[in-house]
C-alpha cells in the first residue's frame, strides 16, 4: 500500500491550479460538456498533442539559460512558434516552471514510495533509494538541475510548495538513515539530519558535470554516488564497495 506520509505528496500534485485546456469553461449557458477527455486527440491525462513537447523544450531552455534569463521568446523559438502562440499551451511563464516542478516532484515521490514498499533491510532500502534517485537525476539532468537550482526564482506560493517538498524528501532520507543506524549498519555517531542534507546537496551537483554523451555510464556514476553517500552516512566498511551493481 502506498503510504505517502500524509500530505506531503498532495501538496505538490493537488490543486494544480488548472492547467491550460480547462482554462475557459466558467461561462454561462451550460456549455454542452466541453472537451470530452478522450477520443479527440487528447491523451489519457488530458494533455494535448504538443503539451509534452512544450514542457520538455522549456526544461531544456530554462536549464541552459537559467529560468530568469530565459525568455518566453526563447522557448517559443525553440518550438518554432511565435511567443504569442505559446500561450495557447501555457498560462504563464511561471506556470510552466510549476508544471516542470510538479512533474519532477511526482517522479521523485514515486521513487520514494516504491522504496518503502521494497522488502529487505533498511540498508537495502536506503541503498535502493540512493541509487534510484541518482539514476533519476542522471536521466533527467536538466529537469533535476532546474528543480534543485531555480526554486529561488519561483513566486512565493510556488516557493512555499517547493520548500514543503524538499522537507519531505529530506525527512525520507533521514528516516532511512535512522533506520540504518537502528539496524546497526550505520555508525550512530553520524547526525542523520546533517548527513541527509549533505548527501542531498551532493547529489544536486550531478547535473553540473555529468554528460550523458561522455564516457561514463549513468549506472556507474550512480554506483559511485551511492557508495560515497553511504560512506558519508557512516556505513561500516564492508569489503569491496562496487559489488552491488
By the criterion CB under 7 A, which residues form the site for DNA? 34-35, 40-41, 48-50, 69-73, 81-85, 87-89, 91-94
Other CB atoms within 10 A of residue 105 CB: 23
Contact call for residue 29 and a second copy (CB under 8 A): yes
Report 42-81 residues binding a second copy (CB under 8 A).
57, 65-66, 68-69, 73-74, 76-81
Q: How many residues bind a second copy (CB under 8 A)?
A: 59
d(CA 102, CA 179): 29
Residue 31 in contact with a second copy, rule: CB under 8 A: yes
Backbone angles phi, psi at 187, to 5 degrees: -60, 115
Residue 36 interacts with a second copy (CB under 8 A)?
no
Q: Rounded to an integer, what distance in angstroms lies between the CA atom of residue 134 and that of residue 111?
A: 11
Query: Which CB sits closer to DNA, 89 or 101?
Result: 89
| Separation CA 97–CA 95 (nearest Å) | 5
Taking residue 46's Cβ as centre, other Cβ atoms within 10 Å add up to 14
- Cβ(153)–Cβ(69) below 8 Å: no
Q: Binding residues for a second copy, per CB under 8 A?
A: 24-32, 34, 57, 65-66, 68-69, 73-74, 76-81, 149, 152-153, 187, 189-191, 194-195, 197-206, 208-209, 221, 224-225, 227-229, 231-234, 236-237, 240-242
Amino acid at each position: 500500500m502506498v503510504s505517502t506520509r500524509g500530505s506531503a505528496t498532495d501538496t505538490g500534485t493537488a490543486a494544480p491550479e488548472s492547467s491550460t485546456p480547462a482554462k475557459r469553461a466558467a461561462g454561462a449557458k451550460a456549455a454542452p460538456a466541453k472537451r470530452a477527455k478522450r477520443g479527440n486527440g487528447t491523451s489519457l491525462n488530458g494533455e494535448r498533442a504538443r503539451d509534452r513537447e512544450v514542457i520538455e523544450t522549456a526544461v531544456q531552455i530554462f536549464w541552459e539559460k537559467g529560468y530568469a534569463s530565459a525568455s518566453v521568446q526563447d522557448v517559443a523559438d525553440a518550438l518554432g512558434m511565435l511567443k504569442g502562440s505559446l500561450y495557447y499551451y501555457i498560462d504563464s511563464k511561471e506556470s510552466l516552471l510549476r508544471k516542470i516542478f510538479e512533474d519532477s516532484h511526482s517522479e521523485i515521490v514515486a521513487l520514494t514510495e516504491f522504496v518503502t514498499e521494497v522488502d529487505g533491510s533498511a540498508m537495502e532500502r536506503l541503498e535502493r533509494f540512493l541509487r534510484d534517485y541518482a539514476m533519476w537525476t542522471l536521466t533527467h539532468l536538466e529537469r533535476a538541475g532546474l528543480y534543485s537550482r531555480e526554486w529561488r526564482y519561483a513566486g512565493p506560493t510556488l516557493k512555499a510548495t517547493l520548500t514543503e517538498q524538499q522537507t519531505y524528501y529530506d525527512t525520507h532520507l533521514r528516516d532511512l538513515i535512522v533506520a540504518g543506524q537502528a539496524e546497526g549498519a550505520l555508525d550512530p555517531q553520524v547526525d542523520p539530519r546533517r548527513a541527509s542534507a549533505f548527501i542531498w546537496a551532493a547529489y544536486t551537483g550531478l547535473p553540473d558535470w555529468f554528460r550523458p554523451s561522455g564516457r561514463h555510464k549513468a549506472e556507474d556514476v550512480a554506483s559511485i554516488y551511492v557508495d560515497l553517500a553511504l560512506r558519508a552516512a557512516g556505513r561500516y566498511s564492508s569489503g569491496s564497495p562496487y559489488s552491488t551493481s
